[in-house]
Copies of this chain bind each other. A is one copy, B any other.
Amino acid sequence: MNKLKYILVMMITMVIVTSCNENSNYIEATYFTMDSNGELIRPVDYRTWIYVGTPLTPNDMNNGKAAFPEFHNVYIDPISYKQYKKTGTWREGTILIKELVNVGSKAAVSGNGYFMGEFIGLEATIKSKEHFPDEPGNWAYFSFTNPTGGTLAATGKAFETAQCNSCHNSSAGDDFVFTQHYPVLRAAKGVGEEVTPENTAKR
């Protein structure tokens, strides 16, 4: 009877240890999946990732023809954010999401300005030597936006290098990422992992 109990307890322990270890292994995971055609499967949980900033170049400030007329809410996956704090560089497998939100209203009780309307698109960029060995900096760019509105695409094919990467290559602040527009990333770069009185305000 004691032996049976022993075996049972061992089994329970192994289940629990395995369960806890799975969480630990997840720490090193990437936050994206490529399908068998080499297309990126649309990420879904990015609104729980780390927000880094929102550039805004509206139509009415660009003669009605802005290249990017929407609010661009940009997120980075949590593990790459943690690594960027630690090392100041983008790890293999870094993914940033750009969620497009149209300009909703231009006046509110708080004053005149720009206020977010509705979600109208989704884009992503990934740094991966494994997946994109020939792209400058190993960064590739994807869109899931439906040009006619409505449902986002389930997968996205990497853009040609000239469409996104060339501009990121020449103008982005830190290794193809426009950190000059993302205060959260500028504050995080190399700050370390611990919260201290010195870096708290920067986090």
Contact pick for A114, options B13, B50, B108, B114, CB 8 Å = B114
Among A100-139, those with CB < 8 Å from B are 101, 104-105, 108-119
**A158 contacts chain B at the CB level, 8 A cutoff:** no
- A48 and B131 alpha carbons, distance in the complex (Å): 28
- A132 and B38 alpha carbons, distance in the complex (Å): 54
Report the minimum CB–CB distance from A195 to chain B (whole Å).
5
**A56 contacts chain B at the CB level, 8 A cutoff:** yes
- A108 and B55 alpha carbons, distance in the complex (Å): 10
| Chain B residues in 8 Å Cβ range of A44 | 195, 200, 203
Nearest-CB residue, chain B, relative to A170: B109
Tally of chain A residues near chain B (CB < 8 A): 66
| Chain B residues in 8 Å Cβ range of A16 | 13, 16-17, 20
Report the minimum CB–CB distance from A92 to chain B (whole Å).
22
B171 x A109 contact (CB < 8 A): yes
**A34 contacts chain B at the CB level, 8 A cutoff:** no
A residues lining the B interface (CB < 8 Å): 2-3, 5-6, 9-10, 12-13, 16-17, 19-20, 42, 44-45, 47-48, 50-51, 53-58, 61-62, 66-68, 71, 73, 75, 78, 81, 101, 104-105, 108-119, 151-152, 167, 171, 178, 180-184, 187, 195, 200-203
